[in-house]
Amino acid sequence: MISETILIGSAASLLAGLATGAGALPVLFDGNVSDRLLDAMLGFSAGVMLAATFFSLLIPAISISSIWVAALGIALGAVTLHLADRFTPHLHPILGAEGPSSSLSRIWLFVLAVTIHNFPEGLAVGISFGVEEISLGLTVTTAIGLQNMPEGLAIALPLLREGYSRRKSLWYSTLTGLVEPVGGLLGVTLVSIFHQVLPYALAFAAGAMLFVISDEIIPESHRKGFEREATFGFITGFILMMLLDFLLT
């Protein structure tokens, strides 16, 4: 039973990760996506991610433990992402801002940035299957997949504009999602074997996702002057994910 859960959780995190590449497919046909639409899509992804964090991670964590465990897990997840973001040399794939100077090539800096921000999403998918409720795992997988699609396009478009070919832009965007199965495998294996860490793991994943939403996605969606479009995208994504969570669980 444990091995089956690990297999399902790992496969789900892989599918969620591949959604990043699926979202970037339009670059093969047309790279002219307006900033207005892209910001609305990023806002949508943030809303989906926030709803999944609350309804699929925090509420289960509180229900099987306590509010204090949830608070501790959130803090640990956010601090871990902060430290990884601060001390790992990288480029922000969306914002395009360079981190500390390093002799590493730009492509490896790019991959490191992807690892920092997509790893906790895969972790969340894997951990959600450790609750032993397939519906919860499917809800988180759907949320991360929906969130990854506009993010994939947001990564591919700047690469295309910087001179990368359409195929390479798609490939690098897809590559960003392939770290998620690693997090998924780790998460589902950990909580399947050590059930007592499940509430901490759920809250940890929630804290990490909250950090990404606030530090990365929302600021980027408000950067180009289309804050209202991003806000309504955010609300739409939150409502959609809330309804899906209610219907699937």
9 within some domain: yes
For residue 101, the one-letter residue type is S
Mean pLDDT on 231-237: 95
What is the domain range of residue 74? 2-20+34-248
pLDDT at 98 over 50: no
The pLDDT tens digits for 193-218 are 777 888 899 999 899 889 988 887 88
pLDDT band, residue 97 (cuts 50/70/90): very low
25 within some domain: no
128 within some domain: yes
28 within some domain: no
DSSP-assigned states of every residue in 101-127: --SS-HHHHHHHHHHHHHHHHHHHHHH
pLDDT at 223 over 50: yes
pLDDT band, residue 102 (cuts 50/70/90): very low
Q: Encoding tokens for residue 96?
A: 């395009």
Total of domains in the chain: 1
Mean pLDDT on 175-182: 86
pLDDT band, residue 44 (cuts 50/70/90): very high
27 within some domain: no
pLDDT band, residue 112 (cuts 50/70/90): low
Q: Give the predicted TM-score (pTM) of the model.
A: 0.79
29 within some domain: no
Mean pLDDT on 136-151: 85
Mean pLDDT on 177-193: 86
200 within some domain: yes
What pLDDT is attached to residue 237?
A: 92
What pLDDT is attached to residue 94?
A: 47
Mean pLDDT on 75-86: 87
pLDDT band, residue 70 (cuts 50/70/90): very high
26 within some domain: no
pLDDT above 90: percentage of residues in the chain = 19
